[in-house]
Chains A and B, each alone.
Chain A
């Protein structure tokens, strides 16, 4: 048990509000941006400090209780899995905040924007650290509310409002169904603490209620993680949001929902249970998303469909049900957060200049924006899984885990889908370097701060592609945290 002063960064949205209002009143330019960047960096550093504490702890899990001991008090369960997710979220959050400084410079209501963005990062960290359903649900709703508002942030035009409303209705129905699932679990186990639920329910013979819980969990978590057929909000919401928010949503939010699903699934059921339904969902998600992505004319919409396809690849690792498969899932979560974040941020720069989201209007942009086009190239190669980028490593582990448990056809389908996805990536890259209809003039490269973010992310994509060992070891440590019962041993000695 630790005190958890490292968790103070969770209050950073309040500081952003205070400094933002101060900056507005005294009209100090760039104060609130500076504070937001510093606080994002501080969050990243705090997660590192938590990692150091976790390494030093003998039980390999840190428990922070809030207001009494379980089952009545809420608590944070900080194991390697949570730290891994929190690290991905805070890293991408830092990149998104730095990128926003230039990208959002012409928008109004920036105090709200930075507050909501940092609250989104904090809520994702909260979901990753949650040690009981109560904490999970509170942060889950915070994550939902902040992202609904951020999607509809540019409320002057029709697109964001419609997409935001659609996202809100689907997300709210999903989280209420999740609430229903929590209620059933509470009715069966009499507690909402993860460790106590696990001791009470895991290994029980399957009953009608347990099947019902699984169905509700699939829908509740599946809506947020955009598993086909519950994906319909995503292709609207992600393109309509400002680009840094698209990067956050596609890069980490849908993966956090998947993380919640995996965590709860392994809590209540034996590892490898429900392999068949998850396999069906994985196949449907991969195939449908890739085919629909091929048909898109809108760059961000295409990237949004590609995100759904990536969730499908992650489900392949989950349906394998082994520690190796989960390791692949986690590795792909981090790699995808970098790649898709990079793709959306580069797309943001391109759209900013081309003043259109249509792919056809971006012909010849590579001439005027060489560096952004290069980072886009790296991101798309990574998403397609080309060797030398980090996407190859994680996809290799994901698909070989499917081969390892005898689901060879699933692995093969994954590889074929991956090849299919290259078609739409290459189509876009070809557009970038093709000759424009009329000569473009007046376009210039993105501002240096935006370029700095995209170039450093592209460097990370390549770096983890040729030197993946540390990342693989962290991911395997995180996957092991799901299978050993350290948390149960700490809560119920």
Chain B
């Protein structure tokens, strides 16, 4: 029970930190926030997998999914970094405030 609280608390904290980072002004920080939320999701998978024990081993399905989503998350972050590089080339800044020309 105590372990559960720790794990759920950790996942919840990660989501909160990530959402806080997403509201920041720097593009790099926003991207890091996305990454933290993503890892909270992966963490949740590993946590739930630990509940299901099949023949003495933890259910491999949850772990497989976590691995796969790490790869997918990496590709998304790569796209984000490419966008940041392009933004920096044009505006010479990575602050969102200075490129806010479209209405948010």
Contact = CB atoms under 8 A, between A and B. Distances in A.
Interface in B87-104: 87, 90-91, 99-104
Given A138-B68, A164-B83, A191-B61, A158 B91 contact: yes
B29 to A, nearest CB: 11
B72 A168 contact: no
Task: Please classify the interface of chain B as helix (H, G, I), strand (E, B), loop, or mixed, using the class held by over half of its residues.
Answer: helix
Contact of A183 (B41, B75, B80, B86): B41
Nearest to A236: B102
Given A164-B83, A179-B41, A186-B45, 14 more contacts: A152-B83, A155-B86, A159-B102, A169-B34, A173-B34, A176-B38, A179-B42, A179-B45, A180-B44, A183-B47, A184-B48, A186-B48, A192-B65, A240-B102
A15 interface: no
B36 to A, nearest CB: 9
Interface residues of A, number: 41
Interface of B: 15, 19, 22, 27, 30-31, 34, 37-38, 40-42, 44-45, 47-49, 51-52, 59-62, 65, 68-69, 72-73, 75-76, 79-80, 83-84, 86-87, 90-91, 99-104
B98 to A, nearest CB: 11
A134 interface: yes
B38 A149 contact: no
Nearest to B89: A155
Given A173-B37, A176-B34, A158 B99 contact: yes
19 contacts: A134-B65, A137-B65, A144-B76, A148-B80, A148-B83, A149-B79, A159-B101, A162-B100, A166-B104, A169-B31, A176-B37, A176-B38, A176-B40, A176-B73, A186-B48, A186-B61, A190-B59, A191-B61, A236-B103
A161 B102 CA distance: 11
Given A152-B83, A161-B87, A176-B34, A71 B61 contact: yes
B7 to A, nearest CB: 11
Contacts of A162: 87, 99-102
Nearest to B34: A172
Contacts of B79: 145, 148-149, 168
